[in-house]
Chain A
């Protein structure tokens, strides 16, 4: 069985982002870029399926500028077999990405597609669900456990208040939540080996997909700052302030 994993190049989660003074976006110059953390979990899950003999091939795909190659290489170093870069300089949005991925799926015919539940830059949480709709596939979002069966997958999902288990027919799209697994680190020999693994490059145009965005970002601002608070010396003082100054407890 072939597994397709999607990866996005995003600002590393440890970076404190800075909004540009002209409010056109956030500063991406000389900022560390990484694989979206939820996509690392997706890669790990696919590689474990291969190691368990349940998948034969793990293909990783990224949609974006040429430098997304770096994140595809990371995925290859973590155990994926080959990569596909759909190269575009358009500030592509979830629906456009989903349309591109559908075109890739039409060619590759994977039985399972694993994506991160959201990217930590846009925080949209849309692409996997949109892809499932476009393909007419079942979807299992926010997965914390995936069990492959015959022609189906049993997936435990994180929902408000607890967990839900559903069974989805394959091919299916699974999106990963934090607790699905703990991703490994790439070893040096595997990083070296990854350099020899193939990456095919294509484009939305070559795939016949229109990725023109329908949503324009008019401006990006820093969030409202909270006014500085005070330090209290004792618990008595804290409780007194909460009762008599903030009046949030009685």
Chain B
């Protein structure tokens, strides 16, 4: 078997979810190559070559890959696909954009968001917001897979020494154009990379009250998340949403503050190692998944907790 992992990177470094995808590739077994497509991405390709278990890094360095447009990314992935039994990427908003396009170009199915490898053609994946786990088997000659970022421990970043091989750029598809990006510079860890997360829900009442969580987050080195209710109410931006349609997280400690625990929210955090719920409603469903539940007014409990840390 021969596996291609498509790297997610910022032209300099390989992002952690890609090392999770590499762990899934190792579970399948066989030679593993990594494709780094970008603009000015030599440093990222060199970083990929350092990852243990990588046989070869394919680097496609050209302007059209700079912003990861789906049409251009799918084009380069499909162009190097021949000979691989599996094409794998971590589940991120960028791979969700281009990987199904790759699968359709190769006339094969995609298996989204796998959480385990049962055999080289059989995988487990969550359906219905994680309320059921399906075991699926692919009869396709090439398996196109995306891997849930919380499902495997990432392989180490260093220790390998693969060769970097340059591959020619594909013709520019040119049907879409990047205009701008509005990405918030975080002072805290990213939600999907944090070992501690503190999230607020509708019970926070407004956006200003999230400052209560910030103080605790700073002491714990935590990321701050939110439920869909808090995002819909306009308290905080969309990218803080944890849940079925937001980020899927599994930190060591997840503290849910003023979150009732709709199934769509639980879908995004119930694989956390330790879950704490603080809610004044003792019947809130969040308590059914919490290791430690505290029935209390968050406006008293959170400052008290802050003082004890």
Q: Contact flags (1/0) for A193-225 with B, using CB distance below 8 Å?
A: 000000000000000000001111111111100
Residues of A within 8 A of B178 (CB): 164-166
A111 near B: Cβ within 8 Å? no
Pair B292/A241 contact, Cβ less than 8 Å = yes
User: Which of these, B99, B137, B179, contacts A218 with CB under 8 Å?
Assistant: B137
Q: Is the CB of A162 within 8 A of B137?
A: no
B12 to chain A, nearest CB (A): 16
Given A133-B104, A160-B192, A164-B181, output 13 extra A-B contacts at Cβ < 8 Å.
A130-B100, A132-B71, A134-B104, A139-B71, A141-B70, A160-B94, A160-B247, A162-B183, A167-B179, A226-B270, A242-B292, A248-B196, A249-B196
Q: In this complex, what residue of B is CB-closest to A179?
A: B238
The chain A residue with its CB closest to the CB of B105 is A133
Is the beta-carbon distance between B104 and A130 smaller than 8 angstroms? yes
B294 contacts which chain A residues (CB < 8 A)? Answer: 231-235, 238
Complex Cα distance A228/B79, Å? Answer: 50
**Segment at the A interface, from B50-58, B205-213, B271-279:** B271-279
| Interface check A105, CB cutoff 8 A | no
CB contact under 8 A between A129 and B253, given known A123-B244, A230-B293: no
Chain A residues in 8 Å Cβ range of B280: none
In the complex, which of the residues B101, B190, B274 contacts A246, with contact meaning CB atoms closer than 8 Å?
B274
Return chain B residues, CB-CB under 8 Å to A13.
264
Contact between chains at A214 and B136 (CB < 8 Å) = no
How far, in whole Å, are A16 and B293 apart by their CA atoms in the complex? 23
A98 CA / B67 CA spacing, docked (Å): 26
Chain B residues at the A interface, C-beta cutoff of 8 Å = 67, 69-71, 74, 92-94, 96-105, 107-113, 122, 126-140, 175-184, 186, 190, 192, 196, 220, 228, 232, 237-239, 244-245, 247, 252-253, 263-264, 270, 273-276, 287-296, 301, 304-305, 308-309
B191 CB, nearest partner CB in chain A, Å: 9
Classify chain A's interface size: 35 or more
Q: Given A126-B110, A218-B122, A238-B294, are A139 and B239 neighbors across the interface (CB < 8 Å)?
A: no
Which chain A residue lies CB-closest to B270? A226
A242 and B274 contact, CB distance less than 8 A? yes
A190 proximal to B (CB < 8 A): no
The 8 closest A-B pairs by CB, nearest first: A162-B183, A129-B100, A133-B104, A130-B104, A138-B175, A126-B100, A229-B291, A248-B253
Residues of A that sit less than 8 Å from B by CB? 11, 13, 16-17, 19, 26, 93-95, 98, 117-118, 120-134, 137-142, 144, 154, 157-169, 172, 177-179, 213-223, 226, 228-236, 238-239, 241-242, 246, 248-249
CA distance A157 to B179 in the complex (A): 11
In the complex, A236 Cα to B134 Cα: how many Å? 42
Question: B137 to A216, Cβ gap below 8 A?
Answer: yes
A215 CB contacts on chain B under 8 angstroms: 109, 111, 136-140
Residue from A165, A215, A242 having most chain B Cβ neighbours under 10 A: A215
Instruction: Say what secondary structure dominates the interface of chain B.
Output: mixed
Closest approach, in angstroms, between the C-beta of A150 and any C-beta of chain B?
A: 14
Interface pair A161/B190, CB less than 8 Å apart: yes
A-B contact pairs, 25 of them (CB 8 A): A13-B264, A94-B109, A95-B109, A120-B128, A126-B110, A127-B100, A130-B104, A137-B175, A142-B93, A144-B238, A158-B239, A160-B93, A163-B181, A165-B180, A168-B175, A169-B176, A177-B238, A213-B109, A215-B140, A220-B127, A229-B275, A229-B289, A235-B294, A239-B305, A242-B253
Give the chain A neighbours of B296 by CB distance below 8 A: 235
**Of the candidates A122, A160, A233, A236, which one forms a contact with B308 in the assembled complex, judged by CB atoms under 8 Å apart?**
A236
CB distance from B272 to the nearest CB of A (A): 10
Cα–Cα distance between A4 and B180 once the two chains are bound (Å)? 27
Bound Cα distance from A242 to B232, whole angstroms: 31
With CB as the reference atom, state the residue of chain A lying closest to B71: A138
Most A CB atoms within 10 A — which of B104, B183, B247, B292? Answer: B104
Contact between chains at A129 and B97 (CB < 8 Å): yes
Q: Do residues B291 and A230 form an inter-chain contact, with CB atoms below 8 A?
A: yes
Nearest CB in chain B: distance from A34 CB, A: 14
Q: Which of A142, A223, A242 contacts B130 (CB 8 A)?
A: A223
A159–B94 touching, CB < 8 Å: yes
Residue of A nearest to B290 (CB): A229
In the complex, chain B residues whose CB is within 8 Å of the CB of A172? 175-176
Contact B135 A219 (CB under 8 A): yes
